[in-house]
Amino acid sequence: MSTELILLLTVVVASFVRGVSGFGAALVMMPVLSGLIGIQAAAPLVAIIGLTNDSLLCFYYRRSFEWNIVSKLWAGSIFGIPVGFLILRFFPARWMLSGLGVMITAYAVYALLTPALPILKSRRWIYGTGLLCGTLSGSYNIPGPPVILYGNSQRWSQEKFKSNLSVFFWGNGLFVVSGHIFANSYSVEALQQYAITIPGVLVGLVTGTALSTLFNPLVFRRVVLTILIAIGIRLLLLGIQA
């Protein structure tokens, strides 16, 4: 199977997952594309694909998000993104692969256990969540786990959960893509790869959003998390063997 076809199919699946669950596109794309084209090339590509996804969903959920929450997450994220870029630039690729594998596996196992999280009331938690999301965005393009856990701790409804995450991811993605542009990370090849993925984004996202009401969210979430555990272990092994 060609690199272009794997890239396109990965984006279709990732965008479908994003449309159904409200998160998870980067968690699907980063492990696969890091193994396919290398983590240094995958990071800026996943960032711009994610921004495309988030722009469409941000428009779709534009009337449901809470500005007071999203703005605080953005404030923390702005300070975390440069830290993530430094990690991406100076850490060896094998460390990055191993770290990504450990983090994805740990998050998926933790999410599968579905513990009852306490309600986090202090404002420090929301700024800290944004800071951690920004760091993970700049390095791995996966801001989801911290804000997902924070949203669960706040007992957000499904609509509020999807809308707040969509708008936060959009702004966060805008910062990250701008950083990659400033760092001259988008080569002609990267832009050509991005162009290939655009139909996949549209097909996956529209289909996932339209069919989201037909899936049992709990069953679908468990299937995705189980797949992520397998992907995370594979990345860890790749990093060890590199």
The total number of residues shown for the chain amounts to 242
d(CA 86, CA 81): 9
pLDDT in tens, 35-58: 888 888 888 999 999 999 988 888
Please give the share of the chain, as a percent, with pLDDT higher than 90: 20
Q: What is the pLDDT of residue 139?
A: 80
pLDDT of 200 above 60:
yes
Residues 68, 123 contacting (CB under 8 angstroms): no
pLDDT in tens, 171-194: 888 988 998 898 888 989 989 999
Q: Pick 101 or 186 by higher pLDDT.
A: 186
pTM: 0.77
d(CA 184, CA 10): 25
The secondary element (H helix, E strand) that includes residue 178 is helix 158-182
d(CA 223, CA 7): 21
pLDDT in tens, 18-41: 888 777 788 788 888 888 888 888
DSSP state of 119: P
pLDDT in tens, 7-21: 999 999 999 988 887
Q: Pick 47 or 159 by higher pLDDT.
A: 47
d(CA 14, CA 29): 6
pLDDT in tens, 123-133: 888 999 999 88
